[in-house]
Structure 1
Amino acid sequence: MPFKKLHPSIKEVLKQKEIVIPTDFQKSSIPVIKSGKNVFCNASNNQGKTTTLIMTIMHKLKCEEVGNIPRALVLVENNDKALDLYNTFTTFTKYTPLRVYVANEKEHVDLLKSEIFEGVDILIATPQIVSKLLLLYGVNLSELKLLSIDDAEFLSQTNAYNAVLSITQSISKCQYVLYSNKLNPNLKRLESYFMEHATHVNV
């Protein structure tokens, strides 16, 4: 069972949330993501994609606070989704040392820079905000271990797509996991960029 092989802190949260049985998607995706491969994760709604995203990031980072720069990055479509995901994330991480930070685009970029410099393990943001921070030397991605994109269909928007390509070009080595309902041609094109040799999980 996928849940049995997750970090003990994650299993404790699942117990508190009374999440006992993994979905078909979680059974298929969690072992593949844990293997370190790049993965396209495709499943319909209510299959636990967001929960999987959170759990696999926590497991990858061993539920530990390390250093000062992000080791996981989650890209989302817009600011509202970033804030929603942050709120969900913190229900899982609140009993761990993991530092989760959302780059709220309504805040001044200088404030975002200063808060990120204080120390972050997991950064949640839109591609546009991350691109801006990179240009202003406001975030260092040299220690990034995992980049996840939630509801990746939004990459059909040219600005977001180009921003993601720009971000990945500044990363030397990293695991990439994309979550979506279906693998559309726009997402499949990413195999020519940073999703080379990606495994496909379809439920």
Structure 2
Amino acid sequence: MPFKKLHPRLLESLELQSIETPTPFEKRSIPVIKSGANVFCFAADGSGKTTTLILTTLQKLKGEAVGNAPRAVVLVENKEKVLALYDAFLKFTKYNTLRVYASYEQLHIDIQKSEIYMGIDILITTPKTLQNLFLTNGVSISELKICSIDDADFLSKKSDTTSMIVMAESIKKCQFVIYAQKSHPQLKRLENHFMEHSKLVQQ
């Protein structure tokens, strides 16, 4: 069964990449995320978590650039994962106007601030870098619509979880989606903060 009820530009991107049929995980998770609920998504590697993240993020932003402040943030563990996910997003955004920005600790903070100031739609970064940008007025989170955490198993490190909780307290009216292979105590901790009343999709 093909992908359904996605933005026409996303369907075109899928067709150009010869992606015709969703995986079982994609089929189950995409409608739940599109509903606007906060969601925990647990599935093994190779199940389609990253494709789900990309498609639902682009769907939320309706495939077009708006304003200057990011409307989507994607958090990952480190620079390598930032750059890998950035490349994955570009496969879907090169035929639309959405602006994706890769941000990581090794890139000088002043360079990041000046480039973000020029206007972006999707910010891919790490929890620590996002917190530094926010605390130095390098990024506005007032327009955020969706915040996703990819391969969130790294949040087993307490420092990253704490950074995430501090940031989430400053974000209002934003959907949170967390992707991981399985749950662990630090992820359960998030239920007491910004993941209350969340839904669960498990493969």
TM-score (norm. length: structure 1): 0.98
Residue of structure 2 in register with 1:12 after alignment = 12
Q: Which whole-Å CA distance do the structure 2 matches of 1:73 and 1:124 have between them?
A: 6
Indicate the SS of the match to 1:160. Answer: helix
Deviations 1:172-200 (A, max 9, x none): 11000000011222211211000010000
Aligned to 1:137: 137
* Superposition CA RMSD, Å: 1.0
Distance 1:30 1:185 in 2: 25
- Correspondence for 1:31: 31
Q: Is the 8 A contact 2:78 2:104 kept in 1?
A: no
Whether contact under 8 Å (1:2, 1:31) holds in the other structure is no
Cα distance in 2 for partners of 1:122, 1:145 equals 10
Q: Secondary structure at the match of 1:137?
A: coil
Name the residue aligned to 1:98: 98
Shift of 1:2: 7.0
Structure 2 residue 39 is matched with structure 1 residue 50? no
Point out the more displaced range, 101-110 or 79-88: 101-110
Shift of residue 166, structure 1, vs aligned partner: 1.1
Matching residue of 2:68: 68
For 1:179, give the aligned amino acid: Y
Aligned to 1:183: 183
Give the partner amino acid of 1:109.
I
TM-score normalised by L of structure 2:
0.98
**SS in structure 2 opposite 1:6?**
coil
User: Could you say if the C-alpha distance between residues 15 and 2 of structure 1 is closer, same or farther in structure 2, counting changes exceeding 3 Å?
Assistant: closer
1:166-181 pair list within 5 angstroms? 166-181=166-181
Residue 59 of structure 1 deviates from its aligned partner by 0.3
| In 2, Cα distance between equivalents of 1:155 and 1:109 | 23
Q: Which runs of 5+ in 2 are unaligned?
A: none
SS in 1 for 2:3: helix
The 1:76–1:8 alpha-carbon spacing in structure 2 relative to 1, beyond 3 Å, is: same
| 1:26-54 Cα shifts (integer Å, max 9, x gaps) | 11100000000000001111111001100
Report the identity percentage: 56
SS of the equivalent of 2:70 reads coil
